[in-house]
Amino acid sequence: MTSVLQQLNADLAGLVTGVQRSVVQVRDDQRGGAGAGTIWHPDGLIVTNAHVARRDHLQVALSDGRVLPARLIARDDERDLAALMVEADNLPTIEPGNSAALHPGQWVLAVGHPWGITNAATGGVVIGTGKQIADLPVRTANQDWVVVDVLLRPGNSGGPLVDAQGRMVGVNTMINGPEVGVAVAVNAVKEFLRRTLGSDDAARTPESASPEFV
């Protein structure tokens, strides 16, 4: 049993290490503060929450220590999603998963910067998914949510929710109770990027961006 637990610990640690390389800090260089974001495309496309990227003069801190100015290219306040661009290439990315395949009880991990702790990870299980989840503090039509038994904190917003294979299944966005977190489902992220960047393959064509919300 000990060897099984040791292997599980090693596997989870390796999974988190891989995810951390693709997680960034999103900073307001005028007022400070930091949310999180996920590198979606190696040529500098980053996904985060709209409430993390409300202002101009944003900076992105990469896992390799570089701090780059970021340009807001699309935002959807209703769905709490935003897309940023930085001038960089060959950046590490996370494989997008399929949030429609999630089921209650599946293990997930959230990575972000809670209370300023860089690239911290916390885990739990999926509680439920869908467009209409009871008792959420928001009511957004046709929004896909992932509700999880994961303790999110300030600084987790905009960071990735990943499954046991390290695939991104959501963007962490809010707290709804002592140990209940809510993420925007990754399938909603894909639709947001297709719609705002004008491509059926938004993950590969950030240069085609035609901003819709900014």
Distance CA 117, CA 151 (A): 14
Marked catalytic residue, from 41, 43, 76, 80:
80
CA distances from 129 to 44, 101, 102 (A): 29, 10, 7
What are the distances in angstroms from CA 77 to CA 54, 131, 185?
9, 17, 15
Q: Which of 28, 51, 149, 199 is catalytic?
A: 51
User: Kind and range of the H or E element at 186?
Assistant: helix 186-197
How far is CA 67 from each of CA 19, 60, 64, 94, 158, rounded to the nearest angstrom? 19, 6, 9, 20, 17
Q: Give yes or no: 135 in active site.
A: no
**3-state secondary structure (DSSP) of residue 16:** helix
157 is catalytic: yes
64 is catalytic: no
Bridge partners of 171, per DSSP, are 160, 184
- Catalytic positions, written as ranges: 51, 80, 157
